[in-house]
Chains A and B, each alone.
Chain A
Amino acid sequence: MELRTLMTMIFTVGMVWGGFAFILLKALKKEREKKSTAERSSS
Chain B
Amino acid sequence: MAEQKEFFTSRWGMILSVIGIAVGTGNIWRFSRIVAQNGGGSFLIPWVIFLFLWSIPLIIAEFAIGKSTRYGNIGGIAKIAGEKFAWMGAFIGFVATAIMFYYSVVAGWCIKYLTQGITGTLVTTQDHIGLWNSFTGSYEPIIFHVLAMAIGAFVIYRGVVSGIERTNRVLIPSLLVILLILALRAVTLDGAWEGITYFFTPTLDTLLDYKVWLAALTQNAWDTGAGWGLILTYACYARQKEDIALNASLTALGNNSVSLLAGITIFSTVFALSPGEGIKELISGQGSTNTGLAFIFLPQLFEKLPGGIWVQGFFSTIFFLGLTFAAITSLISMIELAVKTFVDMGLERRRALVFVSVLGFLFGIPSALSMTFFENQDWVWGIGLMISGGFISFAIIKHGTDKFRQGAVNGEGSDVTVGRWYNVVISWLVPLQVIVLIVWWFSLAITSFDREGWWNPLNTYSVGTCLLQWGVVMAVFILLNKQMVQRTLHQKGVE
Contact string against A for B residues 190-210, beta-carbon threshold 8 Å, 1 for contact and 0 otherwise: 000000010011100000000
Residue B283 interfacial (CB < 8 Å): no
Give chain A residues whose Cβ lies under 8 Å from the Cβ of B200: 5, 8-9, 12
Assess whether A27 is in contact with B202, with CB atoms less than 8 Å apart.
no
By beta carbon, the residue of chain B nearest A2 is B201
Contact A27 B41, beta carbon cutoff 8 Å? no
The main secondary structure of chain A at its interface with chain B is helix
Residues of A contacting B41 in the complex (Cβ-Cβ under 8 angstroms):
4-5, 8-9, 12
Is the beta-carbon distance between A4 and B201 smaller than 8 angstroms?
Answer: yes
Among B11, B48, B243, point to the contact of A12 (Cβ < 8 A). B48
B interface, over-half SS? helix
Q: Contacts A1-B197, A9-B200, A27-B246; is A16 near B415 (CB within 8 Å)?
A: no
Q: Is the CB of A16 within 8 A of B48?
A: yes
Q: For B250, list chain A residues within 8 Å (CB).
A: 20, 23-24, 27
Interface residues of B in 48-81 (CB under 8 A from A): 48, 51
Q: Are B202 and A16 interface neighbours, CB within 8 A?
A: no
Q: Is the CB of B243 within 8 A of A27?
A: yes
- Chain B residues near A9: list those with CB within 8 A: 41, 200
Q: Within the assembled complex, what's the spacing in Å between the Cα atoms of A23 and B264?
A: 23
Residues on A with beta carbons closer than 8 Å to the beta carbon of B197: 1, 5
Measured between beta carbons, the chain B residues less than 8 angstroms from A2 are 201
Which chain A residues lie closer than 8 Å to B469 at the CB level?
none
CA distance A25 to B60 in the complex (A): 19
Cα A41 to Cα B6 in complex, Å, equals 25
Indicate if the CB atoms of A4 and B202 lie closer than 8 Å: yes
Please measure, in the bound complex, the distance between the C-alpha atom of A13 and the C-alpha atom of B257, giving whole angstroms. Answer: 8
Complexed CA–CA distance, A2 and B193 (Å) = 13
Query: CA A15 – CA B260 in complex, angstroms?
Result: 11
Indicate if the CB atoms of A30 and B260 lie closer than 8 Å.
no
What does the 1/0 interface line of B242-263 toward A look like (CB < 8 Å)?
Answer: 0100110110011011001000
Residues of B within 8 A of A24 (CB): 250
A15 CB to closest chain B CB (Å) equals: 5
Q: Give every chain A residue within 8 A of B246 (Cβ-Cβ).
A: 23, 26-27, 30
- Tell whether, in the assembled complex, residue B415 and residue A12 are in contact, meaning their CB atoms are under 8 Å apart: no
A23-B45 in contact (CB<8A): no
In the assembly, what is the distance between CA of A9 and CA of B40, in Å?
A: 11
Chain A residues contacting B241 (CB-CB under 8 Å) are 34
Say if the beta carbon of B44 comes within 8 Å of chain A.
Answer: yes
Q: Are A26 and B415 in contact (CB under 8 A)?
A: yes
| A1–B260 alpha-carbon span in the complex (Å) | 19
Cβ contact of A16, chosen from B243, B247, B260, cutoff 8 A: B260
A11 — which chain B residues lie within 8 A by C-beta? 44-45, 48
A26 to B249, CA, bound (A): 11
**Identity of the chain A residue whose Cβ is nearest the Cβ of B11 in the assembled complex:** A31
Q: Tell me whether A30 and B243 are in contact (CB under 8 A).
A: yes
Tell me how far the C-beta of A32 lies from the nearest C-beta in chain B, rounded to whole angstroms. Answer: 11
Bound state CA distance, A24 and B256, in angstroms? 14
CA distance A5 to B257 in the complex (A): 19
CB distance from B241 to the nearest CB of A (A): 7
Q: Do A20 and B415 have beta carbons less than 8 Å apart?
A: no
The residue that B256 contacts in the complex, of A8, A16, A23, A30, with Cβ under 8 A, is A16
User: In the complex the two chains form, is B201's CB within 8 Å of A20's CB?
Assistant: no
The complex places the Cα of A19 from the Cα of B260 at a distance, in Å, of 13
CB distance from B266 to the nearest CB of A (A): 15
CB proximity of A4 to chain B, nearest CB, Å: 6
A1 to B200, CA, bound (A): 10
Distance (whole angstroms) from the CB of A6 to the closest CB of chain B:
8
Q: Can you name the residue of chain A whose Cβ is closest to the Cβ of B241?
A: A34
CA separation between A26 and B45, bound complex, in Å? 25
A5, B243: Cβ atoms closer than 8 Å: no
CB-nearest residue of chain B to A18: B253
Task: Give A17 to B261 CA distance when docked, in angstroms.
Answer: 10
23 residue pairs bridging A and B, Cβ less than 8 Å apart = A4-B201, A4-B202, A5-B41, A5-B200, A5-B201, A8-B44, A8-B201, A11-B48, A12-B41, A12-B260, A15-B48, A16-B48, A16-B51, A16-B256, A19-B249, A20-B250, A20-B254, A23-B250, A26-B416, A27-B11, A27-B246, A27-B415, A31-B11
Closest 8 CB pairs of A and B: A30-B415, A20-B253, A8-B41, A9-B200, A5-B201, A12-B44, A27-B246, A8-B200
Q: A5-B197, A8-B44, A24-B250 are in contact. List 17 more A-B contacts (CB 8 A).
A: A2-B201, A5-B201, A8-B202, A9-B200, A11-B45, A12-B41, A12-B200, A17-B257, A19-B253, A23-B249, A26-B246, A27-B11, A27-B243, A30-B243, A30-B246, A30-B415, A31-B11
